[in-house]
């Protein structure tokens, strides 16, 4: 069965790019427009991995991660945080919140696939 | 990146810029609203991030400084001030040019950036701006890397105790390392606690292995980029095999069964019992689909054709008297109506999208002219067909500009009256039946009918003895010849280009009116049809020809009393429930030969604010009127706004009520009489 990736980003362009890339590689992709939407979808669907933006309305990426990790089904799901920022603070915060890793925007389609393969095996 | 992606990005950018501009303008009146600051920051952040993704690196670099300013504001280090907002708006205006790769020979963009940076660091030269936005590396800063080893090396790594909960999978790492040539992989059990203190969900293990010499630290960094791991690469002295230490040997066996499997998401997990069943947000990604506008136009065309064919089918069914066919035709009629409504609703856009542009215009103009103006908007959610919205922008800009430029007094002049120091411009939109009314109201000096009249006479638009009502006088400013090149003073240059405004509005089958009171202000009202494609029509017959009147303007239908059958010299009036309503004979207006039948009908229509009767031979019925544009050759025929194809395949002209009434009145001699309805 193909693995399901949840992509959370308020930018339709980024979501589109992620969806196109991952679907082409055989993954199933669920889209969410912000952290709250992402949380609802992550809890309503079995997801194998999450790629989330940090800066979003309603609930940001860190908030999403913390909330998801509170739930039994949210433990152990690998989460990759996207950010344009390369500061260490966000990286540390994301780790503390429970993110597995992070990826700096901009990234290429190849990079995205490499990351997802690394996360999902 | 593909064209499709680029198009999606541009679309998104347009929305973002609109939101950004609105946020910046709102900040002007609410500078301490952190919600607004955050929204502006987020918009900028998204423009930067998405821009960089889709190859607009110059854009990303440009936004970076811009964004930093709002990050400072967000952090409370920098207050929002007029200068910041001015620069931010200017910077925002540069974004489309950056996306389109327009050159910037005067260095305007750099100037704006430098000024923005200057606001953050008073007295410091602008920092190099580009790096963060355009940074293309995919990793965080490297940990302290040992130099690339020269001989076979030894690697140790250990995962953090919470690694499994984060979704780390050591077996994937080990596979990857094996792929790099790792051998002698041994588990390090030194950290294993005693069984009673062992939390099976935590990770206690470390590993060590030998790696070929050519493996570089960079390669390993790639491997470990997604795990919170302590790792070290040491040159190849024979490493001590993993000491068993005080670890409990038998627990190691249990732990070798990959704990990750336990923490992996359950395959069929629905929301766990503890999870609140939240409502889906209405704007969830899956709930909205973006469709190119042309496809909507194509859909509307197809629906139009369907409606015409449906009328044809209904007609045929009726002629054939086949009950089964009639039933089917009725069902198709209902379906077509549903499809028509759904399609038209899809094309509706709130005028909010227009208004954002106007806020900026008003702000800029009021700054430039030194006339402080408050711009208020009512009914931003009122929806109109997207084509109407698009075409409405220019006329409204024109009207607003006139309102500030000419309608609004200067600060000094206002001070002399009892008026508030800040002028008011109000844009309102509301539904009225099948029309939308858009009003632009100002509380400025108002228009002087005497001066307009004098000017119109001087310009030869009317003769000196023409009798006109006040609203007819104001309407003169829409005449093509009114106040063009001549310098117009406080009479207001409202005539400049106003004929273009009227033409545009009329091309949308709308109309406009001016009300004004000296010293109190002016209101321009635009009446617009909800949609341009299909209207409800009343089919009438005059001398054997069928015409369609838009149902929206029809008020009622009465019979023409026998005593009114013959025209009177003094003009024709009907007494309708105690009110006099003037009426026009369409046979006479269209110069038809022959005599009407004994029973004629009068269709009472609204023309602007007035009720006027139109005498017709016969009422045929109502129909769904799919509007077909007249050819350019007929552009001068103003009483006809289009044509439609009837069920029997014949063509009926669609009458423009306002022009028809105007035409009738000018044919009627000579008084241009106005009767209050």
CB pair distance less than 8 Å for A86 and B49: no
Q: What percent of chain A has pLDDT over 70?
A: 95
- Cβ of A84 and B136 within 8 Å? no
Shortest distance between the Cα of A49 and any Cα of chain B, in A, equals 8
B153-261 maps to which CATH number? Answer: 3.30.70
- Residue in the block written with tokens 């506008």: B293
- What gap in Å lies between CA B53 and CA B47, rounded to an integer? 10
Confidence of residue B2 (pLDDT cuts 50, 70, 90): low
Please indicate whether, in this complex, the C-beta atoms of B12 and A69 are within 8 angstroms of each other: no
As a whole number of Å, the CA-based R_g of chain A is: 13
Q: Which residue has the higher pLDDT, B228 or B357?
A: B357
Comparing CB atoms, the residue among A17, A86, A95 nearest residue B53 is A17
Say if residue B352's pLDDT is above 60: yes
Residue pointed to by tokens 């890339």: A21
pLDDT-derived band at B142, boundaries 50, 70, 90: very low
Q: How many residues does chain B have?
A: 677
Query: Contact B388/B430 with Cβ under 8 angstroms?
Result: no
Domain boundaries in chain A? 4-120
Predicted pLDDT at B202: 82
Å between B137 CA and nearest CA of chain A: 7
3-state secondary structure B128-165: CCCHHHHCCCCCCCCCCCCCCCCCCEEEEEEECCCCCC
pLDDT at B134: 38
Closest Cα in chain A, distance from residue B52 (Å): 5
Q: Which of B54, B275, B279 to mutate to test the interface with A (most CBs of A within 10 A)?
A: B275
Which of A12, A40, A106 is the closest to B136 by Cβ?
Answer: A106
How do residues B378-414 score in pLDDT, each as one tens digit?
888 888 888 888 888 888 888 888 888 888 888 888 8
Does B571 score more than 70 pLDDT? no
The pLDDT of residue B456: 85
Interface predicted TM-score (ipTM): 0.78
CB atoms within 10 A of CB B102: 11
Q: Say how far apart CA B478 and CA B499 lie, in whole Å.
A: 4
CB-based contact A73 B265, cutoff 8 Å: yes
Q: Which CATH architecture has domain B349-529?
A: 2-Layer Sandwich (3.30)
Dihedral of alpha carbons B211, B213, B218, B222, sign: negative
CA–CA dist B169, B141 (Å, integer): 23
Among A78-82, B360-364, B566-570, which range has the highest average pLDDT? A78-82
Q: Are B492 and B398 in contact (CB under 8 A)?
A: no
The DSSP output letter for B421 is S
Q: Are B135 and A88 inside 8 Å of each other by CB?
A: no
Listed in sequence order, the DSSP H helices in A12-87 are: 12-24, 35-44, 61-70
* Partner-chain contact B12 A55, CB within 8 Å: no
Give the position of tokens 């509706």: B348
Which residues in chain B touch residue A43, judged by CB atoms under 8 angstroms apart? 271-272, 275
CA B170/CA B27 separation, integer angstroms: 50
Within 8 A of B226 by CB-CB distance, chain A residues are 78, 80, 100-101, 115, 118-119
Q: What is the mean pLDDT of chain B?
A: 77
Choice among A10-14, A25-29, B282-286, B433-437 with the minimum mean pLDDT: B282-286
* Residue A98, Cβ density class (10 Å: 0-12 exposed, 13-18 middle, ≥19 buried): buried
- CA distances, B99 to each of B58, B63, B185 (Å): 8, 12, 52
CB atoms A84 and B175 under 8 Å = no
Task: Find the closest chain A residue to B172 by CA distance.
Answer: A121
pLDDT range class, residue B260, cuts 50, 70, 90: very low
Across the range B626-634, mean pLDDT stands at: 78
Sort out which chain B residues have CB atoms less than 8 A from A99's CB and list them.
166
**What is the residue-wise DSSP string for B569-584?**
TT--EEEETTEEEEEE
Please tell me the number of Cα atoms within 13 Å of B44 on its side-chain side. Answer: 28
**Mean pLDDT in residue range B417-440:** 85
Q: Looking at the complex, does the CB of residue A3 fall below 8 Å from at least one CB of chain B?
A: no
At residue B395, the pLDDT reads 87
Q: Could you report the per-residue pLDDT of B634-670, keeping only the tens digit for each?
A: 777 778 888 888 878 888 999 988 888 888 877 765 4
Question: pLDDT tier at B42 (50, 70, 90 boundaries)?
Answer: confident
Q: Domain B3-134: which CATH class?
A: mainly alpha
| Among chain A residues, CA nearest to B267 | A46
Q: Give me the residues of B, 95-134, that contact A with CB < 8 A.
A: 132-133
Indicate if the pLDDT at residue B538 is higher than 90. Answer: yes
Higher pLDDT, A38 or B640: A38
Residue A93's φ and ψ, nearest 5 degrees, are: -60, -40
Partner A, chain B 48-67, Cβ-Cβ below 8 Å: 48-50, 52-54, 60
Between B38-47, B433-442, B526-535, the lowest mean confidence (pLDDT) is in: B526-535
Output DSSP code: residue B588: H
**pLDDT, position A37:** 93
The rounded distance, in Å, linking the Cα atoms of B460 and B465 is 12
Is B320 exposed, middle or buried (CB count within 10 Å of its CB: 0-12, 13-18, 19+)?
Answer: exposed
Q: What is the mean pLDDT of residues B157-176?
A: 82
Cβ of B179 under 8 Å from any chain A Cβ?
Answer: no
A-interface mutation test, from B285, B288, B290, most A Cβ less than 10 A away: B285
Q: Is A101 an interface residue toward B (CB < 8 Å)?
A: yes
CA separation (Å) from B381 to B19, B179, B239? 15, 60, 72
Q: How many CB pairs below 8 Å do chains A and B form together?
A: 166
The per-residue pLDDT for range B55-67, each reduced to its tens digit, is 788 888 888 888 8
Determine what percent of chain B is predicted with pLDDT higher than 70: 81
Q: Which of A95-99, B123-127, B541-545 has the lowest mean pLDDT?
A: B123-127
More confident residue, B406 or B428: B428
Question: Among residues B548, B613, B621, which one has the least CA distance to residue B586?
Answer: B613
Provide the CATH topology of domain B534-667: SH3 type barrels. (2.30.30)
Q: Burial-class residue B205 by CB neighbours within 10 Å (0-12, 13-18, 19+).
A: buried
CB within 8 Å of chain B, chain A residues 47-66: 47-49, 53, 55-58
DSSP of B261-324, one letter per residue? HHHSPPTT--S-TTS--PPPPTT-GGG-----HHHHHHHHHHHHHHHHHHHHHHHHHHHHT-HH
Please name which of B408, B359, B405, B403 lies closest in space to residue B380, comparing C-alpha atoms.
Answer: B359
Dump pLDDT digits (tens) for B282-291: 444 446 777 7
Measure in Å the smallest separation between the Cα of B278 and chain A Cα atoms. 7
Please give the pLDDT value at position B171. 83
Pairing of strands B610-616, B601-607: antiparallel
Q: For residue B486, give the nearest of B457, B459, B518, B446 by alpha carbon.
A: B459
257-316 of B, contacting A, C-beta below 8 A: 260, 263-272, 274-275, 278, 280-281, 283-286, 290
pLDDT band at A51 (very low <50, low <70, confident <90, very high): very high
Domain A4-120 belongs in CATH node 3.40.50.2300: yes
A 13-42: CB under 8 A from B? 13-17, 20, 31-34, 36-37, 39-40
Of all residues in chain A, the one with the smallest CA distance to B282 is: A37
Of B87-96, B267-276, B447-456, B606-615, minimum mean pLDDT range: B267-276
pLDDT, position B12: 84
What pLDDT does B123 receive?
52
The total of other beta-carbon atoms located within 10 Å of residue B389's CB is: 19
List, by residue range, all CATH 1.20.120.160 domains of chain B: 3-134
Neighbours of B77 (CB within 10 A): 9
The mean per-residue pLDDT over the stretch B270-279 comes to 41
How far apart are the CA of A15 and the nearest CA of chain B, in angstroms? 10
Residues from chain A that touch B285, judged by Cβ atoms under 8 A, are 12, 15, 31-33, 37
d(CA B569, CA B85): 66
Closest of B131, B168, B122 to residue B48, by C-alpha: B131
In sign, the C-alpha dihedral spanning B21, B23, B29, B34 is negative
Least CB-CB distance to A44: which of B138, B167, B271? Answer: B271
Q: pLDDT band at A1, cuts 50/70/90?
A: low
CB-CB neighbors (< 8 A) of B1 in chain A: 17
Q: Which residues of B156-188 are buried (b: 16+ CB within 10 A; e: fewer)?
A: bbbbbebbbbbbbbbebbbebbeebebeeeebb
């Amino acid at each position: 069965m193909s693995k399901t990736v949840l992509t959370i980003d308020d930018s339709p362009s980024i979501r589109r790019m992620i969806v196109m890339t991952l679907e082409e590689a055989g993954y199933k992709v669920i889209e969410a427009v912000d952290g709250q939407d992402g949380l609802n979808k992550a809890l309503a669907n079995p997801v194998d991995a999450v790629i989330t933006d940090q800066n979003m309305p309603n609930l940001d990426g860190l908030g999403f991660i913390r909330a998801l990790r509170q739930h039994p089904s949210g433990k152990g799901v690998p989460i990759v945080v996207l950010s344009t920022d390369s500061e260490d603070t966000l990286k540390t915060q994301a780790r503390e919140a429970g993110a597995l890793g992070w990826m700096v925007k901009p990234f290429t389609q190849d990079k995205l696939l490499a990351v997802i393969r690394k996360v999902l095996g | 990146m593909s064209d499709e992606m680029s198009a999606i990005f541009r679309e998104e950018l347009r929305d973002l810029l609109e939101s950004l501009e609105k946020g910046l303008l709102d900040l002007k009146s609410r500078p301490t609203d952190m919600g607004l600051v955050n929204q502006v920051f987020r918009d900028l952040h998204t423009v930067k991030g998405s821009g960089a993704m889709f190859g607009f690196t110059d854009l990303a670099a440009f936004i970076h400084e811009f964004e930093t300013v709002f990050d400072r504001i967000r952090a409370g280090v920098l207050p929002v001030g007029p200068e910041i907002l001015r620069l931010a708006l200017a910077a925002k205006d540069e974004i489309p040019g950056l996306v389109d790769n327009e050159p910037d020979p005067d260095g305007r963009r750099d100037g704006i950036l430098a000024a923005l940076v200057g606001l953050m660091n008073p007295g410091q030269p602008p920092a190099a701006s580009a790096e963060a936005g355009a940074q293309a590396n995919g990793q965080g800063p490297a940990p302290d890397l040992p130099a690339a080893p020269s001989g076979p090396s030894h690697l140790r790594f250990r995962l953090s105790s919470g690694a499994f909960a984060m979704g780390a999978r050591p077996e994937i790492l080990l596979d990857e390392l094996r792929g790099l040539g790792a051998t002698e992989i041994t588990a390090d059990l030194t950290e294993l606690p005693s069984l009673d203190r062992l939390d099976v969900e935590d990770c206690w293990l470390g590993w060590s292995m030998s790696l070929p010499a050519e493996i570089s630290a960079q390669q390993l960094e790639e491997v470990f980029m997604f795990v919170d791991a302590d790792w070290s690469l040491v040159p190849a002295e024979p490493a001590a095999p993993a000491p068993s230490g005080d670890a409990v040997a038998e627990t190691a066996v249990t732990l070798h069964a990959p704990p990750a499997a336990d923490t992996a998401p359950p395959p069929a997990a629905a929301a766990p019992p503890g999870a609140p069943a939240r409502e889906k947000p209405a704007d969830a990604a899956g709930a909205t689909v973006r469709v190119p506008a042309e496809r909507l136009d194509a859909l509307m065309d197809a629906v139009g054709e369907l409606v015409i064919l449906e009328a044809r089918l209904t007609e045929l069914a009726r002629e054939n008297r086949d009950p089964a066919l009639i039933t089917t035709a009725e069902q198709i009629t209902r379906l077509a109506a549903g499809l028509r409504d759904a399609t038209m609703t899809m094309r509706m856009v709130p005028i909010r999208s227009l208004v954002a542009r106007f806020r900026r215009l008003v702000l800029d103009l009021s700054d430039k002219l030194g006339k402080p103006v408050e711009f208020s908007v009512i009914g931003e959610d009122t929806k109109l067909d997207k084509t109407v919205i698009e075409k409405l922008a220019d006329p409204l800009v024109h009207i607003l500009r006139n309102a500030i430029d000419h309608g609004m007094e200067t600060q000094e002049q206002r001070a002399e009256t009892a008026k508030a120091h800040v002028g008011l411009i109000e844009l309102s939109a509301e539904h009225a039946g099948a029309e939308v009314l858009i009003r632009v109201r100002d509380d400025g000096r108002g228009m002087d009918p005497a001066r307009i009249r004098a000017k119109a006479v001087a310009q030869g638009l009317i003769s000196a003895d023409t009798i006109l009502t006040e609203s007819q006088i104001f309407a003169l400013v829409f005449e093509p010849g009114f106040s063009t090149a001549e310098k117009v003073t406080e009479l207001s240059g409202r005539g400049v280009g106003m004929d273009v405004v009227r033409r545009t509005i009329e091309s949308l089958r709308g109309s406009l009116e001016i009300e004004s009171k000296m010293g109190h202000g002016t209101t321009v009202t635009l009446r617009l049809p909800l949609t341009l494609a299909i209207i409800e029509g009343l089919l009438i017959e005059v001398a054997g020809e069928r015409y369609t009147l838009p149902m929206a303007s029809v008020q009622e239908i009465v019979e023409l009393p026998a005593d009114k059958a013959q025209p009177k010299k003094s003009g024709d009036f009907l007494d309708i429930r105690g009110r006099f309503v003037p009426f026009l004979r369409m046979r006479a207006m269209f110069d038809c030969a022959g005599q009407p039948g004994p029973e004629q009908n009068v269709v009472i229509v609204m023309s602007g604010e007035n009720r006027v009767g139109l005498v017709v031979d016969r009422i045929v019925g109502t129909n769904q009127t799919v509007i077909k544009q007249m050819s350019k050759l007929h552009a001068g025929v103003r009483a006809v706004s289009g044509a439609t194809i009837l069920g029997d395949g014949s063509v009926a002209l669609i009458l423009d009520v306002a022009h028809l009434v105007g035409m009738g009145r000018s044919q009627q001699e000579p008084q241009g009489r106005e009767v209050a309805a």
